[in-house]
Structure 1
């Protein structure tokens, strides 16, 4: 009886000392609705990176997709295991991972315009639209806005595609891959359009890549993620994912999206 009691006590102690995620086979991650980074069905470039890393660590992943920025608030108030696409240093609680994904912001425009927007100064005198909050996020944009012919930030990103194809604006400022995906969606819409959605579009990267991390409630999960991401990066798995997604939008992105 003494030996059995000692065994139970030792087992209880071992369970108590084990990492809290050891028995959790499935990790719930909050993510923003940002096609093609995260699609409604949980697929996407960024989703694939996260799933690849977590599976390497022995975990499976379920994504809960919400409007972008709301997913941060839900994480702060809820019980999900982690949250994706977090600006580095953003105070959301838990443990922040290393940078695991980058977005590439720049300028998209109709190729036939014959323009070359190598920097913000080149947008002077042109009509420009951007995503909501862009002037507070992208370096130098707020200072450059007064030089534009017009400037507007809109939340409806497929609306940006409509405006550029309809020649209502000269340029769109934002992530090149996201813009290219909304162009693809617009081309697939049924019904008559007042413009040609098949016009050639060019993207130029004029900003440094934007770094994003994840926040985990469990510090041990964050350590797992960092370790397995480093392994996946070292063996080329991460670059292969990013290149494959860039290839889907090659006609717009060229080689401007993070060099892929």
Structure 2
């Protein structure tokens, strides 16, 4: 309650939305719970929006296919890009405002001890699309000529395959898995089996890019404020997922 009260005090000092400068921000494809395009919300969406508001700006989201994002930004039609893992774009970079954490996830009842990528050998592994090119050379080697390995674009299906024991391991971001797992339990009217998270991959830190250094400077100050006030973790938890330090649940 105290942290929420502090955030209210912080917001009372914000520049009003009417007078705030509007920024057109390129936002990528819908990836629940980070970005939920149909509802104009999501963990990352809300964090960016509220941080910019605290910095004195209004975010105008423009949903742009990834292939067009850079062209739109370079042309000046966009004032910023919501997030990127690239480090050679024009403009200025903010401090990291969102982190993706991919895990190897198994049913606890299977009692699997997986401490390295080699530990995935001989197991039915379902990963997200393009994971073989995203999770490093060791993982890529594991996937080559591996009849037990599959990639699927629908991460909702990943959860179903794990819970129905059609996969031994799924590779997924923690927040994405927890989001779809919650929906799976709701739709089936039952509790999901308990899972184990095996930390095999380093976290991926993403930053925003803006056209003006002044925006980055103000954004970084505001981001620090919402983290220290507790508002950052409040946003994350509002989507039914766990932050660092919370017990890892389904």
* TM bracket (short chain): 0.7 to 0.9
Question: Shift in Å at residue 213 of structure 1?
Answer: 0.5
| Contact 1:42/1:64 (8 A) holds in 2 | no
2:205 and 2:225 map into 1 onto residues whose CA distance is: 19
Equivalent in the alignment of 1:226:
220
1:70 and 1:34 map into 2 onto residues whose CA distance is: 16
2:227 and 2:193 map into 1 onto residues whose CA distance is: 36
| TM-score normalized with structure 2 length | 0.75
Larger radius of gyration: 1
Equivalent in the alignment of 2:115:
118
Q: What is the aligned counterpart of 2:127 among 126, 130, 133?
A: 130
| Contact 1:111/1:200 (8 A) holds in 2 | yes
| Residues 1:213 and 2:207 aligned together | yes
Residues 154 and 93 of structure 1: is their aligned pair in 2 closer, same or farther, counting only changes over 3 Å? farther
Q: Which runs of 5+ in 1 are unaligned?
A: 1-22, 191-195
Equivalent in the alignment of 2:166:
168
| TM-score normalized with structure 1 length | 0.72
Q: Please give the residue correspondences for 1:64-143 in structure 2 after superposition, counting only pairs within 5 Å.
A: 64-65=62-63, 69-70=66-67, 72=69, 75-76=72-73, 79-89=77-87, 91-139=88-136, 140-143=138-141
| Contact 1:119/1:206 (8 A) holds in 2 | yes
| Residues 1:198 and 2:192 aligned together | yes
Q: Which runs of 5+ in 2 are unaligned?
A: 1-18
| Contact 2:74/2:90 (8 A) holds in 1 | no
Q: Please give the residue correspondences for 1:4-23 in structure 2 after superposition, counting only pairs within 5 Å.
A: none
Residues 132 and 77 of structure 1: is their aligned pair in 2 closer, same or farther, counting only changes over 3 Å? farther
- In angstroms, what is the RMSD of aligned CA positions? 3.2
Matched positions, count: 225
1:149 and 1:159 map into 2 onto residues whose CA distance is: 19
1:245 and 1:138 map into 2 onto residues whose CA distance is: 28
